[in-house]
Amino acid sequence: VAAIRDNPFRLVRDVFGLGFATADRMARSMGIPPESPHRIQAGLLHTLRTAADEGHSFLPRSVLIENAAALLGLDSDLVEGSLESLAAAGEVQLLQGPCPEELGPAVYPSLLARSEAGLAGAIRRLQARRPRARFPDEARLALEEEARASGLLLEEEQRRCLQYALEEPISILTGGPGVGKTTLVLVLVRALERAGEKVRLCAPTGRAARRLAEVTGRPASTIHKLLGYNPHKRNFEHHRGNPIEADLLVVDEVSMLDIQLASQLFQALGPDTRVLLVGDADQLPSVGPGNVLGDLVSCGKIPVTRLTRIFRQGERSRIVENAHRILRGEFPEAGNDPKGDFFFIREEDPSRTLETILKVVTERIPAAFGLDPVEDVQVLAPMYRGEAGADRLNQELQARLVPPGPELKRGAFTFRKGDKVLQVRNDYDRELFNGDVGRVVQVNPQERSMMIRFDDRLIPCSKNDLDQVIPAFAVSVHRSQGSEFPAVVVPLTTQHYMMLRRNLLYTAVTRGRRLVVLVGSRKALELALKRAETGERWSGLAWRLGGGEGRRG
């Protein structure tokens, strides 16, 4: 108690869910002065944590000081002194080089500095050993035979990708939808298995791992499961001293991989393991900090194959065609065929956009395409706020799709039997992963608990687990990464201006398998197409690998 009275800001670190603003109010009520070193240090760390939540691995010193001073309402000179104290205590690390000289050194939270340095070091170690396929001749012969069996006439860029996967310690396969990434991976896996190599498949999330297993017909796991994460000890079975056994490791959906998980994965690879990273570099970056795929592609130190020719669906899918048009900043083409797969419904007013989406999801798509509005249709919104944001859409869709019944309230959310929900945290005890989608099958308001069906499993959700799920009739585009849905509906309004970017729209469109419907204003769509910037991120991975100045983007 005495320690808290002296420094209430320690609660920010010790108590989950208690933020800087709450601790700051407590400090004021206890008479702690605004210029207290404890307060300033807490403000600096809070500013770095906020930056990490936005995807940054570090902030330039000048940017950090400016933002923290504004938060604290203090002069920058006072804040400067406390930064030095944090560095001396090992709470942050300062590094010259990752950002432009005029902005000062990069300031990292120590954990992210260690993760980034660990990842770069692991990559350099793998590249120094330059492992080869154990049976290169047999593997090449098997590749040709598997390609023929799959009806795939290998073109130059595809042959180059396969050669890299056979010979290089690390290689990258990237490209948009319909260009044959999955087919190429399947040919590679089959061929190497015939040649006697041990191939392992993994992805960042449970949804992405299940999709990888479905399309390859091979076991695939989450990266956490591959590493043998122990939730009780909070550590991994596999690490540098006990590496993963594999001749080739295929990592899918690498755009979702943040700097911390990437570091753990690469540090757990043996010197003779080759790695093929597969992902779409034009999608949104990871939810967590870092810009792993973008930095690895741009650093110039790792072989990259970018597939460009469209193969899927006989090159006639408007979803695929329009995804590539969006990448080029071109307006998507929506056909008049009522049985087509891509539509743009113009509604200039946000309230009309909301009403139209409700009708599209609950009436028009089920009637025209025979799709279930809950199981098959997913609304992907740029933001949670706003008249056509995910929060409002969840409320309205629940009212139309879920019968009345016992309710369980948690914060702003109300759950009923029949609700569609999204798991937002990894829970290894219950084998649930961030991004898993389920249906509520039972609600017990008295015990404040629910039963949720995730795929073919019934999972109890106690009152202590309620903060792990959110309504999922509508979710943010970011939360949809690694997933595909039969039908996707996307609201586009100028209320979402801050989030409207080309790669966000591209990511949303590429989530749809059979149908994509955009609903909103032409101006909002044009804004998204014009804004090609990818949501700037401060990251030093490319610099650490020798690719020049740290990346912001």
Residue with tokens 């991989």: 257
**Domains, the chain, with CATH or none:** 1-108 (1.10.10.2220), 130-311 (3.40.50.300), 318-530 (3.40.50.300)
pLDDT of residue 532: 84
| Whether pLDDT at 1 is above 60 | no
Residues 6+ apart with CB under 8 A from 458: 441, 451, 452
- The CA dihedral of 176, 180, 181, 187, to the nearest 10 degrees, is 180
Grade residue 242 by pLDDT with cuts at 50, 70 and 90: very high
| 173-187 per-position pLDDT tens digit | 999 988 889 889 999
Q: How far from 315 is each of 177, 178, 309, CA to CA, in Å?
A: 11, 8, 9
Q: Burial of 241 by CB count in 10 Å (0-12 exposed, 13-18 middle, 19+ buried)? A: exposed
**Angle 447-451-455 from CA coordinates, rounded to 5°:** 165
DSSP letters along 492-543, please? E-GGGGGG--HHHHHHHHTTEEEEEEEEE-HHHHHHHHH-------EE-HHH
| Pick from 26-35, 71-80, 515-524, 543-552: least confident | 543-552
pLDDT of residue 170: 96
Whether 60 contacts 538, CB under 8 Å: yes
pLDDT at 157 over 60: yes
pLDDT band at 67 (very low <50, low <70, confident <90, very high): very high
Please spell the DSSP secondary structure of 326-358, one letter per residue.
HHTTPPPP--S-TT-SEEEEE--SHHHHHHHHH
As a whole-number percent, the residues of the chain with pLDDT over 90 amount to 65
Region 505-513: mean pLDDT is 94
Residue 314 has what pLDDT? 43
pLDDT in tens, 80-117: 989 999 999 999 999 998 888 889 899 999 999 999 99
Token pair, residue 483, equals: 């997933």
Q: What separation in angstroms does the CA of 141 have from each of 12, 138, 249, 485? A: 59, 5, 20, 37
Q: ∠235-271-303 over CA atoms, to 5°?
A: 105
pLDDT band at 548 (very low <50, low <70, confident <90, very high): low
d(CA 250, CA 213): 12
Residue 438 CA from chain centroid, whole number? 19
Q: Compute the average pLDDT of residues 397-420.
A: 94
